[in-house]
Structure formats: C-alpha cells, structure tokens
Amino acid sequence: MTLPAQGTDRFNVWAPDAHTVTLLAAGREYPMSRLPGDGPDGGGWWAAADAPAAGEVDYGYLLDGDTTPLPDPRSRRQPGGVHALSRTFDAGSHAWADGQWQGRGLQGGVIYELHLGTFTPEGTLDAAIGKLGYLVELGIDFVELLPVNGFNGTHNWGYDGVLWYAVHEGYGGPAAYQRFVDAAHAAGLGVIQDVVYNHLGPSGNYLGRFGPYLKPGEGNTWGDSVNLDGPGSDVVRRYILENAAMWLRDYHVDGLRLDAVHAFKDERAVHLLEEFGALADEIAAGTGRPATMIAESDLNDPRLLYPRDVNGYGLAGQWSDDFHHAVHVNVSGETTGYYEDFGSIGALAKVLVDGFFHDGSYSSFRGRHHGRPINTSLVHPAALVVCSQNHDQIGNRATGDRLSQTLGYGQLALAAVATLTSPFTPMLFMGEEYGASTPWQFFTSHPEPELGKATAEGRIREFERMGWDPAVVPDPQDPETFTRSRLNWAEAAEGDHARLLDLYRKLIALRRSTPELAGLGFEDTAVAFSEADRWLRLRRGSVEVAMNFSAEPRRIAVSGSSVALATDDGVLLEGGQLALPGHSAAIISK
C-alpha cells in the first residue's frame, strides 16, 4: 500500500465500496483520495494528504455524500460514545515505567478475572489500581479484564463491543488503561485482556458501511459472522491481528483471552488461531516477554494447544468448561442442562487425569459425540485454564447467582481446593475468594428504547426455553441490575467471608511453595475415588489432596504423614487414615 506524505496517514481508512470519502477533522472537511494499487493489503484505502498531521483531533468520515459522520473503525477514543466522533490518541506519549518487568508464562500462575464496572464502586481503571495490593496479598499472578472496548451506553459486560481499538471512556479511556498496566506490572502482576473477535454488538456497528467486515446471512449466536475467509478478508484479518498486536505492544499487556473461538467461521488453510499463535511468538521475540494467547473454546480440541510444527495452532492455553462442570455438579448437586453428564465423582476424576471429560465421548446435551483426547506428551496441564466460577457461568444463570448464594462454607471450600490444587491453571472470578453475596447479573444500558426492550424480552425468551421462571429474570436495562452486581468489599472481613478469604490465601501460598502442585505433567497425576461414599483423592507426586464431597464424615487411606492444610478443624490424620468431616478437604504431604 502506498502511503501519503508522512504525518497524514493516521486518518487513512479502508472503504473499498465507497465512491467518495470525506474526512471531517477539527470541524473542517478534507476530501480523501483512493490510494492506488491492489497490493497485499487489498485495494480500497483512502487518504487525505492535507489532514492535520499532529495534535489531538476529533474526527469522523462521510461516505458517499452522507451528512452524519461515522467513527473510525480503528478509533482509539470515543469520548461521546460509539455513535459520535472519534478522537486521536498518541499511544507513544505514555512514559512507561515497567522496563524491569520480565513477564511470566501460565505455568504456576493464578488468574483473577474481573469486570471493571462492578469491581469497585467507582467502576474505573484508576479505582482498580487501588485494589492491586489486595490481589498481590491474595497471591494472584495475572489480572484478566473483561472486554474494555467501545460499547453502546454507559455500562455493559463488554461483549457487545463495536469499536475494538477503543478503550471505553467510562473506564477512563486509553490513558487510564496504560496507567493500570504500568501499576499492575509495578505490583508484579501480569495483565490479560479479554478480546472479542467473533461478533459485534447490535448498536454502533458501522463496519459494514466501510467494507466487507461481516458476512451477512452467515451468523453465529450473536449475529453476523466476521469475514475471515471471504472476499476482502485479508484486510479484515489484518484488522483483527493488528488489534491484538496493539494490546500487546502499545498497552504492554501480557496476554489475550480470545472469546468464543468456536464461533470463528474460517475455512482458509491457515486458520486465524494459528496466526494468533504466530503473532504471540513474534511479539514475545521482540519484547523478551511471554505473549500469552488463551482461547475460550467449546470444541475440546487440543489442536489449539499443539505446537505449530506438528500442525497445531500454538496457543498457550484454553479454557476447560469440563472442569467447571464437574466441580459445579459435585459441590452443588445441580445436574440439569449441560451439567447432566457430569453428575459423578468419576467425571471429576477423569477431568483431573485426562484434561477433558468429553474427549470423544457422547455428550447428551449436544446429542452427539464430542471432543478428542489430549496428546499429553505435547501439552502441559497448565495450558488448561480452569475455574469453579466465572463471568459466564454466573452471569448467564437466570438470576446471576453465585455458588456462595446457595452453598455453605464447606462446599465453597471444596470448590476452592479442587481448583487451586488441580494440575491446571486456576482462575478466580472477582469476589469468589470471599464468597461474595452479591450476584453478577446480565446488564446493559442501551440508550435506544427499542433495543433495550428487545434485549430484555430476548433474555426472558432465552430462559423460558431453558425452563427457568421468567418472573425471576432481572431486566438487564434496569440500572439496579447493574448496581446489584457491584462487589460489597466490606463483607470480605466478616464471618465465613473472612474465613473463606483466609483459606484462598493459604491455598494459593501453598500452591506457590509446593512445586509438585503446579509443575508436574499429566503423567504425574493419579486419582482414586469412591462413587458411593463421594470422596476423591488426587495425587500430584508425593502430595495428596483428599476431598469429601459427602455431607457425612469419611475416612480415606493416605500415604503422607503431615497435614499441610485442612478446610475444617475436625480433620484428623492417624495411622495412614485421614478422617474428613462432611464437605471438607485436606492436603497431605510427606
């Protein structure tokens, strides 16, 4: 692509189907010219040679005689919202202070997932900086932020984003984002950013006006699919990959969580996920720090994790829903819907040993066989990111209820032990560590009344199909739904909340000081269990983790001689027999 004179290319825009494009910048119109050529970047790029070359500028584009300007698809700032003018942002103006930060890989780490709008009362990046010390004391290694890209309204989960390059202004915008990452690195915390490349939100999505970013009629759960393999897809893929590079380079983040990659529709010989893996390696080589790509995938396909030289995609990690389902069922007893296949201690045992439960087995929820086995010689267990709670598994319940709203301390402690002593990379959802009593519900703030109404009615229909009482489903447009979902930090110091928080801190510290818990491979993991008595014993090297999922006391044979940690004061080890009260667990070492 031939660029215009230096200093003016910051307003270049791809609009291959437009006949005329006018840049509106600083209140003045600048006619744009189509750049020549159909090179590797594709044709259809436009430039304004005499546009402002420096300074902060509000700007937008008028296509084919339109009178209302559209925001830049690559906008870094949207002070007036996703329907308003874009504003330039100089990412290089921040004086980074993280030169000594070496980054870290997943193995041995603990991730903390949070939503900025509900993590603190203020709901901003700067306010979240004030909680980093708490996360360090808890023992966290990575902070994972739910999507922060530009979305419609003032508050939202973030998965309805429409401007992937912008940081939501309500969180503080891009400058605040840089401050947050700098502060996290100073505290010894890595940052993982959740990004969504499989769909766009329903309001403020103007990409289709500029070019073939989407494939109408080829949709997924959320709307039209992104054009990854059709005409014009070279530029669309570059748009996505450059966005990923922006987070890793301009904002110094340590990794990306790729939302719902099973929704990618990509039939090209080199899959987009493989390109993500290659991009991560390229950036890591340039920065000297790991660049971690983690996929959220419903496929149970270990190819995502295999190295590219054996025809894998080369990603560093992927979420494992199977682990969540097995833990959830065994602590809660809930077996409806997609939990049906996981109603046994044996299901949890299989996940702990093999990584996936469905690895080619029949899935009753899907009505077909699902997944494939992991070649454990190619994958370390740390590549599977696991949890007992996350934003999806809470927020997509009818009332957004957490485990802590229905279960007692003993069952919550069991979930914590299962997650934090597993061979995998554990992830906590904000507030889980102290058994937050606040729900985390689905909330939106669409300014358009008709869209707000459609969203609320669609939510009710969704849960009616699942058998939930629609009367209990909160209105996502009601501001109270958002307010209810904010954490109540005061309760973390009270009663069983404080007791659970203390347990999480001790578990994470023990995980960090016991290399066998996090460092060994699949071959060093063994389990024994009793389906009838509902107990499971996990062995990692010389460390044993005994868990009693029954409400009744149980005795389990162990070979260790010392209780390193117990969730209940009634745990007793005598003569190779471990006495566990109902709903309790203990970690035994030699």
Where does residue 504 rank: exposed (0-12), middle (13-18), buried (19+ CB within 10 A)? buried
- Predicted pLDDT of residue 314: 98
CB 280 within 8 A of CB 292: yes
**Lookup result for tokens 């103007």:** 206
End-to-end CA distance of the chain: 65
Q: How far apart are CA 160 and CA 168, in angstroms?
A: 12
Token duo for residue 215? 């494939």
- Predicted pLDDT of residue 3: 33
Which residues are marked as active site? 259, 296
pLDDT (tens digit, 9 = 90+) per residue, 479-493? 999 999 999 999 999
Helix (H, G, I), strand (E, B) or coil at 165: strand
- Predicted pLDDT of residue 6: 35
pLDDT (tens digit, 9 = 90+) per residue, 51-101? 998 899 999 999 999 999 999 999 999 999 999 999 999 999 999 999 999
Q: How far apart are CA 559 and CA 545, in angstroms?
A: 11
Token duo for residue 319? 């979420």
Q: List 191's β-bridge partners, or say none.
A: 143
Where along the chain do its domains lie?
9-70, 525-589
- Predicted pLDDT of residue 467: 66
Q: What is the pTM of this model?
A: 0.96
- Predicted pLDDT of residue 5: 35
Q: Classify residue 70 by its DSSP letter.
A: B
- Predicted pLDDT of residue 213: 96
What is the CATH architecture of 525-589? Answer: Sandwich (2.60)
- Predicted pLDDT of residue 4: 35
- Predicted pLDDT of residue 40: 47
Token duo for residue 265? 């529709």
- Predicted pLDDT of residue 221: 65
- Predicted pLDDT of residue 7: 40
Q: Which residues of the chain have pLDDT under 70?
A: 1-8, 38-42, 219-222, 464-468
Helix (H, G, I), strand (E, B) or coil at 106: coil
Alpha helices in 302-372 (DSSP H): 321-332, 345-354
CA dist 416 to 50, 113, 478, 520, 532, Å?
A: 60, 15, 33, 20, 23
Output the DSSP codes for 434-476: GT--S--------SSHHHHHHHHHHHHHHHHHTT--GGGSPPT
- Predicted pLDDT of residue 456: 80
